[in-house]
Homo-oligomer: A and B are copies of this chain.
């Protein structure tokens, strides 16, 4: 940048006076660099910039239980006041000026102060097919973007498929701490037509709140950031899992109790092993819809209960067979008769206990 001054010295030997030279340099300087030196500071007159945020959700979709992610299609509307944009506007132009897409980008990359907003719990970059900046005569700025982003939150699948999940979006300023920028007045809306979401999830609660986030490790002292948190508490509608997974599983475990009503030992054993193979199929199916969690979910516990009951059934049948082996009335002995009722009873008790255990925890 001190190149400019060299220019000055060269020009001295020319016909221009030193004053003109300085003028010229100022002009040159202004032209080239002012887009970088100006517009870099937040409009802090008294206190931090107050940015109000609205979230309009079109759709929550591709809810991926394996990756614990979900995609959100919506609009984010940030609005704040920059007094510096006020005066100029009132002089030159009437009404609201609208800058869309590339024009908006050029505007906030060169002409105005624009803070980068960071989606904290996003996964990868989000897509912004449309954005706009509205500048009002009073210096109010409204930045609106349509976004498609993949977000992730911690999901607890213990009660799966009777679980509730919290779909959230957390936003912070990327560079400005709470002394420079605070969020205010957040609002969350769900647009009509989000059928494909509300069809599968029952919305319990929607809330928007402002919190403060401490980053003690950062080496600057100003380590508290203002954060907006949008949350949709929802309960899974379990029709599919109830009828396509739990119902067949239930039928199959039911069918295993048939073992004790059958006389022929070979048939009993054959059925036992066929049922075990079927439970293996359900085991692998459940592996395809849930992450590889260290804890047991409700559905996986049911499958393990299935394994245990069928295995115990096979063992019981063999023990019985050995005790009452070759007798013709093998199936009428006492043990079998007891097991006929003990197994279903234990199973239903286990089911009820499990259901309450998972619901309570």
Contact = CB atoms under 8 A, between A and B. Distances in A.
A63 to B, nearest CB: 9
Contact of A247 (B77, B114, B199, B304): B304
B123 A124 contact: no
A33 to B, nearest CB: 7
Interface string A17-46: 111111111111111111011101100000
Nearest to A254: B311
A284 B285 contact: yes
B3 A23 contact: no
A346 interface: no
Given A13-B19, A243-B304, 11 more contacts: A2-B88, A9-B24, A18-B18, A28-B28, A102-B105, A102-B109, A154-B196, A199-B294, A240-B292, A255-B314, A267-B270
A339 interface: no
A284 B281 contact: yes
A27 B29 contact: no
Interface residues of A, number: 158
Contact of A7 (B30, B33, B54): B30
A116 B101 contact: yes
Interface stretch (A203-211, A256-264, A348-356): A256-264
Interface in A253-303: 254-255, 258, 261-267, 269-271, 273-287, 291-296, 300, 303
22 contacts: A10-B16, A13-B19, A14-B15, A18-B19, A22-B25, A24-B24, A25-B29, A58-B120, A62-B67, A98-B176, A119-B129, A124-B148, A132-B174, A134-B175, A187-B217, A240-B294, A252-B276, A266-B270, A270-B273, A273-B274, A273-B275, A274-B277
Contact of A5 (B26, B115, B218, B247): B26
A334 interface: no
A129 B118 contact: yes
Given A20-B9, A26-B27, A154-B196, A36 B129 contact: no
Nearest to A42: B98
A294 B26 contact: no
Contacts of A38: 3
Contacts of A146: 118, 174
Nearest to A274: B273
Interface string A321-335: 110010000000000
Contacts of A273: 255, 270-271, 274-275
A237 B296 CA distance: 12
A338 interface: no
Contact of A10 (B27, B58, B255): B27
**Which of A19, A24, A148 has the most chain B CB within a 10 Å cutoff?**
A24
B267 A266 contact: yes
A195 B295 CA distance: 14
A278 B276 contact: yes
Contact of A14 (B19, B238, B304): B19
Nearest to A293: B240
A31 B6 contact: yes
